[in-house]
Structure 1
């Protein structure tokens, strides 16, 4: 979380090359925010086969995403990450709502193509962290198991074509 000369040099290089970039004040918080998004929307979109628009506008899906994000926030807080909370959840809800309605997450695309998903780095990892930190993650635990099942079923269907 320190702005080093190396980071400043890289940022200057991006600026000179006219590459849009942001140097976050707190990279650990931003990594946890990305983890929160991946655990929630990637997993839930893959399970429901929902697009970005579905995830943003169908209350049952949107609410499940938010509840899952709250479990990740609890993990982050227990891990000592400050500033990740409702404001970040609201921020990403607005981001999802602004994306192309029929756009698909990478995990949904993986499921549809019969490719291995990133579930072991998302829900499975979050579940393990919950156990290590003593934080219950009931939604994440169930979503991870369902995602593994959805991946296996889709792989079987694609293999039978």
Structure 2
């Protein structure tokens, strides 16, 4: 299978390296010329539980260098989804499938508007990765589940073929007949901790020691559950405590959420696709979401302060 990974960051490289090892023609697409050139020249260095190895990968900065793919896996930051997909239409032919494995909700609608809903699959993955440097990642694939599915819940041969290819390569993948429910389940976990750690700058260990913060997290998750129910989404959990507990499962006290990591790097976050999704669904369905709206506002305020500080530095 010819597979293009749109967004070769830590997660994109972890998935791409695994599929490359599985014998697929995989292309890692990224905007960074240094990252891409280093991968082309030296391969991708992958550190994992088995040690360190170099994987010979195909990499490009332009979709036109790749051509039409059988599958496009979208792993860019949420706020880059529209621009990235519009700039990568050379990857999409009549039979191409476009699969989002991004955090949050709403990417599938953005992609459907660009390539057509009939081309789009949705998914969620628990595979992890950390970008150590150009063409160098820490990868966490073993034992980490991935779920994919058709937007309407049908169990089709095409989505099964993707799952079969992923599984054969070592990505533990399940086809879901309720992928929207699966995505909401993952959203609940992100809603529980992401924005709170971004605002407070706390690690997981610190966050889970503060009862007041737990109460806020449970309130935010309760709003998300109410919005999901109003939307007719079938969730696997009904108690906010479940999301709070699952969010910390298997993670060290020193763990930093991706939202906190983004802020520490001076980057904007994906809050619009996480807590912001809850707010949008609440507005659409008449479900109050004051806690999530407050968390979004606080993160936006931090992003504004960072942008102003960066602007001052440039003009100083």
Q: Which TM class, normalised by the smaller chain length?
A: 0.7 to 0.9
Whose strand proportion is higher, 1 or 2?
A: 2
Cα separation, 2, equivalents of 1:83 and 1:17: 29
Q: Shift in Å at residue 27 of structure 1?
A: 0.6
Q: Shift in Å at residue 93 of structure 1?
A: 1.4
Structure 1 residues 5-61: Cα deviation after superposition (integer angstroms, max 9, x where no partner):
112212222222222223334211011122223333111110111212233332222
Q: Please say if residues 33 and 88 of structure 1, whose CA atoms lie closer than 8 Å, have aligned partners that are also in contact.
A: no
Q: 1:68 aligns with which of 210, 217, 220?
A: 220
Residues 39-78 of structure 1 correspond to what in structure 2 (within 5 A)? Answer: 39-78=191-230
Residues 89-104 of structure 1 correspond to what in structure 2 (within 5 A)? Answer: 89-104=241-256
Per the alignment, residue 108 of structure 1 pairs with 260
Change in CA separation of 1:88 and 1:2 when aligned onto 2, cut-off 3 Å: farther
Deviates most, 108-117 or 20-29: 20-29
Per the alignment, residue 302 of structure 2 pairs with 150
Residues 32-43 of structure 1 correspond to what in structure 2 (within 5 A)? Answer: 32-43=184-195
Whose helix proportion is higher, 1 or 2?
A: 1
Unaligned runs of 5+ in 2: 1-152
Which structure: larger Rg? Answer: 2
TM-score by length of 2: 0.46
Unaligned runs of 5+ in 1: none
Cα separation, 2, equivalents of 1:36 and 1:154: 27
Cα separation, 2, equivalents of 1:39 and 1:83: 15
Cα separation, 2, equivalents of 1:6 and 1:49: 43
Change in CA separation of 1:107 and 1:116 when aligned onto 2, cut-off 3 Å: same
Per the alignment, residue 83 of structure 1 pairs with 235
Cα separation, 2, equivalents of 1:137 and 1:106: 23
Change in CA separation of 1:42 and 1:25 when aligned onto 2, cut-off 3 Å: same
Deviates most, 53-62 or 84-93: 84-93
Cα separation, 1, equivalents of 2:279 and 2:210: 26
Change in CA separation of 1:22 and 1:52 when aligned onto 2, cut-off 3 Å: farther
Cα separation, 2, equivalents of 1:88 and 1:151: 28
What is the aligned residue count? 161
